[in-house]
């Protein structure tokens, strides 16, 4: 799994999403669920959206480990109210990193 990568197209979070209804055989759905869990997708919907992005845009790659780190950053940021401007977020991340380095010394 270390060689596996996922591709992501940058999409504005302000853009409107359109819902679609997709009918697939039950066996395909079951296999898609297994694949999604095995490869770090939250659900089949994320797998389908990512697959479409990959086929349509073929944009930058991100590893499964990178995706996990991004999800963890979002989780911690929400929990600790780290959101603000981009500048504030990076300042806080640098402060935490420097604090961790200071404690390790």
Domain-located, residue 80: yes
Work out the percent of the chain whose per-residue pLDDT is above 90.
17
40 within 8 A of 68, measured Cβ to Cβ = yes
Q: Model confidence over 11-42: pLDDT tens digits?
A: 545 556 788 898 999 999 999 999 999 988 88
83 within 8 A of 77, measured Cβ to Cβ = yes
Q: What is the mean pLDDT of residues 71-77?
A: 83
Domain-located, residue 74: yes
Domain-located, residue 1: no
Q: How many domains does the chain have?
A: 1
Dist CA 22 CA 25 (whole Å)? 10
Q: What is the mean pLDDT of residues 62-78?
A: 78
Q: Which helix (H) or strand (E) holds 45?
A: helix 44-56
Domain-located, residue 54: yes
Domain-located, residue 26: yes
pTM over the 0.85 mark: no
Domain-located, residue 39: yes
Instruction: Write out the E strands in the chain.
Output: 6-7, 61-62
Domain of residue 34, residue span: 6-104
């Amino acid at each position: 799994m270390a060689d596996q990568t996922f591709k992501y197209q940058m999409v504005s979070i302000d853009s409107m999403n359109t819902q679609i209804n997709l009918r697939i055989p039950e066996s395909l759905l079951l296999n898609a669920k297994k694949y999604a869990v095995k490869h770090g997708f939250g659900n089949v919907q994320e797998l389908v959206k990512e697959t479409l992005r990959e086929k349509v845009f073929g944009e930058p790659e991100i590893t499964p480990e990178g995706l996990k780190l991004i999800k963890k950053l979002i989780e911690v940021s929400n929990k600790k109210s780290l959101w603000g401007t981009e500048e504030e977020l990076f300042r806080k991340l640098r402060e935490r990193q420097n604090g961790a380095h200071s404690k390790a010394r």
